[in-house]
Structure formats: structure tokens, C-alpha cells
Structure 1
């Protein structure tokens, strides 16, 4: 392609406010009234992860009313577009995540605002929840670019991005002020030419054949992607 050649490109549709169904979880558009109680217990209850809110621009919340007011505000937005993660085994809401920085004209979209209860962390359910948004963004909508951004000090998020197949592109220094602290932002992406390999690895990793009777993975996602 020459420097000034035109792309064979048409803008994509924005993501729908619709249910996404998987094997372990389903994603439902956030409904503060319906999901609020479960999410409060999953994200701020006695068994929740105390480090969950460390790098998010909000939370933890002082009380249930403040949390539900925040949820209601997020339910009303189209960008970010929030989804609730429902554990299909228990039918309970166990986490949140969203699309954001949605740019249909450019075919660019981001996944973020990820808040998973402790029971979801490091589980097939957490990987599948993100996979469902990734698959919709790239296969369902036809985006050219999928982004992941996080505080450069957030080691867990950076490891997750790399495990999921995102490529780090750089560091935006002094990008934001969050909770009164400087945030250097690490930027990651997957582009459409890379997606088929990533997709195949996810399909194989999430297959029931990849887990033994104790639920332990037989092959790591990174190993499947390297083939």
C-alpha cells in the first residue's frame, strides 16, 4: 500500500445493548436495579478483592446507596457501554466490564472498566467474559483495532493484556490525574490482521477439552497462540 492510497473501508456499527452468551458466563447490559445487590456483594462484600479499586478512577464506595447511584449513572451511558457478567452456574452477577472510546468511523474500540469479583479472577469465566466482547468487536462489528489501556503501575492489568494477546505500543507519560495521583498509561492493541490467530487460540483454550476434571487448564492461552 502506498502512502496516499485509499482504504477499502466503511464505518462499522456501534456495539448493541444486547445479551452475549458464552459457556461459563453471559453478558447482560447493566441494569442497576436488577444487578445491584449481587454486584455490591461481589465487588465490595466481605469476600471481595480489596485491591479491585486501586487503579480504577472510582471506588471503593462508602455505602450501598453511593454504589447504586454510580451504577445507575453507568447504566445510562452509551460510551462507556457497560455489561454485567452473570455466572451461568449460579445465575448471579459477579462482575462488570465495558466497551469505551467507541469510534465506529475509524473502526476502533476499547475494552475497559473491568471489575471482577474475587470468584471470577484467574478463571475461565473471566477470560470468556473478555473474549465475548473481543469477538463482538472484531467479528461481529468488524472493527480494525481493539484497545486495552491501564495505569502503567497496574501489573495485573498489564499481565492480563499480554496474556490475552494484546501488543504493547507504548507509554503515555503523565496522561491523567486519577484520585489525585499521576497516571502514566500503558497502551495495548490488537489489529484486524492479528485477530484470526488470537481468535483461534481463544476457541481452543475455552474448549472443555482444554480442562481436566479439576478444572485445571491443559494448555496455556499463550502456548496455543504461539502455534
Structure 2
């Protein structure tokens, strides 16, 4: 514990800290998917991908309603592109370069070195594949390479898929903000998760190992589950 001259406990020193650059809207290439700066040209492919689910169950906990047609999809995408608080990407399948999802950096605080991964909107084409994990790995790696100290994740406390996704890749549960917001005429309690820079080396090692080509059969089936890489990294 660090103590100041008055005998008071204080945080550990950061003598060389300075504000960081904002993340750029640039391509990030991965093993199983790529992140391309979100463009209106992605509209039709994304609409088709999201339409593979006939109902809107995948949008229950999202802020937006599922776009009902191409015009609504264009508006949804345009809003993300034009929002200065977001850095938005389309997730594209490396096999065919097809857009299959959207994800953003949000609440970017370059002065304090913190940001969130948010607006996570995977289509059915990403379900039960390695692309979601790869996309999140790239976003974490990019943030920490830029010098950020904290990457946060928050979700509706009832959204178990989102909670499980965060914990699976190494995010730490921090707590629940009760009645944090209203959404779609309902109450929302918000759960907060984070990865901080001191945790990142271990998480990076585990995710890199799981995502490596050697861990997948030719049909895309994993040979080892992700949690086994975390277990081994702690030995």
C-alpha cells in the first residue's frame, strides 16, 4: 500500500502517465475474422445476416430494435458511423469476406486510459463459431497495445449470453448497478466487467493459444476448450 506524507493510503504512482491517442477506424486482421471500419456498403449483407433469425430474440437486451427492412438497417448503421463517441467495425468472415456482425469501442476515455467494448451485435452466422472470440480478442489487444489500462464490458444483468461471453474470455465481474437505466419501457440492472492491463498478458496468452490454427480441426471444431488454456497458463 502506498502512503502519502499525511499517512493516508493512496493509489500506486503513475509518474509517466499521459493521455493516449484515440483508437483509429482502421482494419484489424485476425485468424478467423477481420474487423473493417463500418460502412454503409455493409448494410445489405448485415441485413441478410441478421434476417437469418426470423424473430427478434437476439435483440431483446439491445438498445435498438431489430431493423425491419434495408432502410432501417441503413439508418442503424449510419447512426453508428456518425456517432463521434463510437469507433465502429463490421466483423467479416475471413472465408468469404462477408459482414456477419457489428461491434464498437464506446465511452472512450483517453485521458484516463479506459474504454468499453459495446454495441456487440452478432448475427446467427457468428453463433457457435470462433469469430466472436476472435473479434473480442482483437479489440482487447488493440486497446492494450495503444496503452489503455482498462477495457470494460457492461450488459443487462439478465442477458446471460453476454455475461457468459465476457467471463469466458477473461473479464472480471465488478458489480451490479441496480436500476441503472430504462430500456424498451423496462427496467435494466447493469452488470459491469473489466480487463485491466496487469491481467492482459495471461488472458492474451490463453486466447492466442485457443485461437491458433493448431487448436482447430479442418471442419472448424476446437480441439481444446478455452478454459483449459487459462488453467494451464496458471500452472
The question of a shared fold, defined as TM-score above 0.5 by the shorter chain, is answered with: yes
What residue number does 1:108 align with?
114
Equivalent-residue separation in structure 2 for 1:59 and 1:169 (angstroms): 28
Check if 1:21 corresponds to 2:29.
yes
**Matched-pair contact (CA < 8 Å) for 1:149–1:187:** yes
Equivalent-residue separation in structure 2 for 1:11 and 1:122 (angstroms): 38
- Gapped regions of structure 2 (runs ≥ 5): 3-8
Equivalent-residue separation in structure 2 for 1:46 and 1:92 (angstroms): 14
Equivalent-residue separation in structure 1 for 2:165 and 2:102 (angstroms): 16
Equivalent-residue separation in structure 1 for 2:212 and 2:94 (angstroms): 16
Which is higher, the Rg of structure 1 or of structure 2? Answer: 2
CA-to-partner distance for each residue in 1:173-221, whole Å, 9 max, x for gaps? 0000011110000000011111000000011001111112332212211
Q: CA deviation at 1:153?
A: 0.2
**Cα distance change on mapping 1:63 and 1:213 into 2, 3 Å:** closer
Number of residues of Structure 1 aligned to a counterpart in Structure 2: 224
- C-alpha RMSD of matched pairs (Å): 1.4
Runs of 4+ in 1 over 4 A off after TM superposition: none
What residue number does 1:124 align with?
130
**Cα distance change on mapping 1:83 and 1:48 into 2, 3 Å:** farther
Q: Secondary structure at the match of 2:138?
A: helix
- Gapped regions of structure 1 (runs ≥ 5): none
**Cα distance change on mapping 1:216 and 1:82 into 2, 3 Å:** same
TM-score normalized by the length of structure 1: 0.94
| 1:82 aligned to which of 73, 83, 88 | 88
What residue number does 1:144 align with?
149
